[in-house]
Structure 1
Amino acid sequence: MENENIAVGLDIGTTKIVAMIGRKNEYGKVEILGIGRSKSLGVHRGVVNNITQTIQSIQQAVQDAETSSGMKIDNVMVGIAGQHIRSLQHSDYITRSDSDEVIDEADIERLCNQVHKLVMLPGEEIIHVLPQDFKVDGQAEVKEPIGMYGGRLEANFHVVVGQVSSIRNVGRCIKSAGLNLSAITLEPLASANAVLSREEKEAGVALIDIGGGTTDLAIFKDGIIRHTAVIPFGGGVITEDIKEGCSIIEKQAELLKIKFGSAWPGENKENEIVSIPGLRGREPKEITLKNLSKIIHARTVEIIEQAYLEIKNYGHEEQKKKLIGGIVLTGGGAQLQHLKQLVEYITGMDTRIGYPNEHLAGGSDDETTSPTYATAVGLVLSSLNNQEKEQQKKQEKQVEDTEESDTETIEEPTKAEEEKEQPPKERKRFLDKWAEKFKEFLDNAE
């Protein structure tokens, strides 16, 4: 791609594949330049089960995005989800050889690398190692240890794990579609970037992203990711239930859910009826909206209860871990009528629908700001942020090179500034290394 400041997010979902091209304008907001969408044929519950069909769907989405933007796509940032994803909490520590030196990014990198050596179940691989809080010489709840003195550096980590084969299959599809994989990230983290505010992450919030095949959950507290989970069913099972319960074809069931579906049966009167055309030469079917709502309600309650169980597992009921920001619903399934009210009724937590418009430029169309595209917008945002950090790193290196010949008095403040800038920069560098290792792994797999 000619312009370095342009990023592409590729959301490989169970029902749709979305390619989205975006760039930041002068106000720091994201302008969506092009969007391509295709039906996802080779993915089941977030996992690729037909390589050929997935490649075709990716190529179709990319082609549409290229046509609508007039640009050529080379590098993409991909989101990964699916029922194989699990997360765990882990604590680890390192003993520093020289406690008279301040803690720097190399120490944090050494600690993160140590976590990467954790022994996983056969066929599993670590996707993300996310530090939560640090402990320096027994001093707990240190958010940023860089610049502190200490001999023992300890940290709690949130570790996200996935199946190697599933990750490799995604990588293979990207490569075979003629694209380069610039980075890979967990989809709930991307969605959170798009729809959650900093205040919500500080106060404590649970993001529930209801997709076609999976429901992704991400919990934040004190600005840090605390828990992630992937529930192996989403809007697709609701459509399946309507299809079975009303004896109609899948296409009709999906349309019925979108147009007339409600998660709250009390809203519909007994005499509200919708007529569905019968198959060739057969009589049309009449379905009461009350029955339709009952079918949808039963399955929706199951999905919400499963998500709420994960929220309780995190410890929401403890005073210290209380999620003051409540729940944010996003994804295509979040558009179901009266879902917000049902979630509030079941969980007793404040709930809102999350639209990815906070970071988007003013002129964005309604389609782009729909919850359906939250993950795609989040992937574009993550990719743009990564690019900014890379450019910042290059600029800092240039500044360092030019200042080597200057006096120490001038160097002092720049070092202080560097130390301020280091924490987020380091996290990125570590993920970069992981992405490079993953690319090598794919190349060798050929």
Structure 2
Amino acid sequence: MEHNLAVGLDIGTTKIVAMIGRKNEYGKVEILGIGKSKSLGVHRGVVNNITQTIQSIQQAVQEAEVAAEMKIEDVTVGIAGQHIRSLQHSDYITRSNSETVIDEDDIDRLINQVHKLVMLPGEEIIHVLPQEYKVDGQAEIKEPIGMYGGRLEANFHVVVGQVSSIRNIGRCVQSAGLNLEGITLEPLASANAVLSQEEKEAGVALIDIGGGTTDLAIFRDGIIRHTAVIPFGGNVITEDIKEGCSIIEKQAELLKIKFGSAWPGENKDNEIVSIPGLRGREPKEITLKNLSKIIHARVVEIVEQVYVEIKNYGHEEQKKKLIAGIVLTGGGSQLKHLKQLVEYITGMDTRIGYPNEHLAGDSDDDITSPLFATAVGLVLDGLKRQDRKKLEQQENVVNEEEKPSDDEEVKEQPPIKERRSFLDKLTDRVKDFLDNAE
């Protein structure tokens, strides 16, 4: 595939989206093609039927290929689902020689130390994110490289997930005839697509309400501080409408989208929707007030759980306050009056997040819908990964061409080497596993 192209594959509970994007000359991203299919083999963000998921992936990919008139090979995939959890952990290393400065290798050693954490069976560390460092007891250091010190410690945000679920996703992608180029945590992908750098600095909670799960990512001082996946989303609302009004799922979903509201106070008692009955039966009449009461009850439950996680992070402490409040995205964020409800429950400023932060100005409105936040984020991630690859290749060429004789020159060049993230390593491990697992 061309260099500055990337494909995001969002394998969700309700839909699977394949999105092809390219960087234009202004560094913005143009979406060339998009395909979506109904997701059949996924429950609460986890694959539970491999064959159906493969078919859905192929369908979405085909549609995107037709739209963009090109073939898709490599994709960046998001992982989420109810098996993802996160924890805070502190660790330290003692350096053998405190007369040399701290470098990349020290940090790698410290991060590898975190790997010795004992996990539940079947769980594996997906992501280790250093929050802040201490050098010889001096706290709140953002970047210890280049400092002197004997003891280096850090607080980490550790994200853990089930290996088997991740491998299953890899398996589906591979069997759909695609090459798994990268794996990204979905809350991180959505955050990249929707949040501005200022919000990440000021402190913000991104809530991505999907069909099967609600993902949360909290940023402060530009660093991700907390992630959580809450195992219900828009689908439980539809389920409740279906049960509460005794109608079929398709009708419940339509009702929710067309007439649903998260705020029951505003419907008059006499507003009624009539729903055609099943074959030969009388039509059903449903009051909008009842409809929004059902929706309200469920949404409150989801928002309250998210708020518990925000409080767990420590939003109530002065120095951890999230000044930019809450950003809602995902398909579930399109529910009428949800913003007001969230502000009412949490007392935090709230806005709806559209994934247009990095998209070219002339992008279609339907692409910048909150529905596609994760897909856009995955495309961005794929493009970033390619930039990194390009840098590495250039470096290798430079290194082979000329090694400067004068030592001073070497010191002048800042290290470009970016630490390989856990997700890159995880991608490689999943690939190796799939290659050897026939």
Deviations 1:7-29 (A, max 9, x none): 11110100000011111111111
Partner residue of 1:147? 146
Partner SS state of residue 239, structure 2: helix
Q: Distance in 2 between matches of 1:81 and 1:377?
A: 16
- 1:403 is displaced (CA, Å) by 4.0
- 1:408 is displaced (CA, Å) by 3.7
Amino acid at match of 1:432: D
Does 2:99 correspond to 1:100? yes
- 1:427 is displaced (CA, Å) by 4.4
> Which segment is superposed worse, 102-111 or 230-239?
102-111
Pairing 1:210-225 to 2, within 5 Å after superposition: 210-225=209-224
Q: Distance in 2 between matches of 1:99 and 1:65?
A: 55
Q: Distance in 1 between matches of 2:396 and 2:29?
A: 27
Partner SS state of residue 419, structure 2: helix
Q: Distance in 2 between matches of 1:409 and 1:348?
A: 56
Q: Is the 8 A contact 1:403 1:411 kept in 2?
A: no
Q: Distance in 2 between matches of 1:233 and 1:405?
A: 58
Identical positions, percent? 81
Partner residue of 2:18? 19
Q: Is the 8 A contact 1:36 1:62 kept in 2?
A: yes
Q: Distance in 1 between matches of 2:435 and 2:93?
A: 33
Q: Distance in 2 between matches of 1:305 and 1:411?
A: 54
Q: Distance in 1 between matches of 2:193 and 2:145?
A: 28
Deviations 1:196-233 (A, max 9, x none): 11111111111110000000011111111111111110
Pairing 1:33-52 to 2, within 5 Å after superposition: 33-52=32-51
Q: Distance in 2 between matches of 1:401 and 1:90?
A: 41
Partner residue of 2:430? 438
Pairing 1:44-443 to 2, within 5 Å after superposition: 44-414=43-413, 417-418=414-415, 421-422=416-417, 425-428=418-421, 431-443=423-435
Change (3 A) 1:23 1:406: farther
Q: Is the 8 A contact 1:206 1:323 kept in 2?
A: yes
Gaps in structure 2 of 5+ consecutive residues: none
- 1:70 is displaced (CA, Å) by 1.1
Q: Is the 8 A contact 1:41 1:54 kept in 2?
A: yes
> Which segment is superposed worse, 132-141 or 189-198?
132-141
The alignment covers a number of residue pairs equal to 438
Deviations 1:338-388 (A, max 9, x none): 000000011100000000011100111111100000000001111111111
Q: Distance in 2 between matches of 1:216 and 1:293?
A: 23
Q: Is the 8 A contact 2:183 2:424 kept in 1?
A: no
TM-score, normalisation: structure 1: 0.95
Q: Distance in 2 between matches of 1:149 and 1:394?
A: 32
CA RMSD between the two structures? 1.4
TM-score, normalisation: structure 2: 0.97
Q: Distance in 1 between matches of 2:107 and 2:31?
A: 36
Q: Distance in 2 between matches of 1:30 and 1:98?
A: 46
Partner SS state of residue 22, structure 1: strand
Partner SS state of residue 300, structure 2: helix
Q: Distance in 2 between matches of 1:441 and 1:67?
A: 32
Q: Distance in 2 between matches of 1:84 and 1:70?
A: 37
**Would you identify which runs of 4 or more consecutive aligned residues in structure 1 move more than 6 Å?**
none
Amino acid at match of 1:43: V
Q: Is the 8 A contact 1:194 1:377 kept in 2?
A: yes
Amino acid at match of 1:54: T
- 1:409 is displaced (CA, Å) by 4.5
- 1:395 is displaced (CA, Å) by 2.1
Amino acid at match of 2:167: R
- 1:406 is displaced (CA, Å) by 4.7
Q: Distance in 2 between matches of 1:324 and 1:427?
A: 31
> Which segment is superposed worse, 397-406 or 244-253?
397-406
Q: Distance in 2 between matches of 1:140 and 1:403?
A: 41
Amino acid at match of 1:434: L
Gaps in structure 1 of 5+ consecutive residues: none
Partner SS state of residue 147, structure 1: coil
Q: Distance in 2 between matches of 1:371 and 1:162?
A: 25
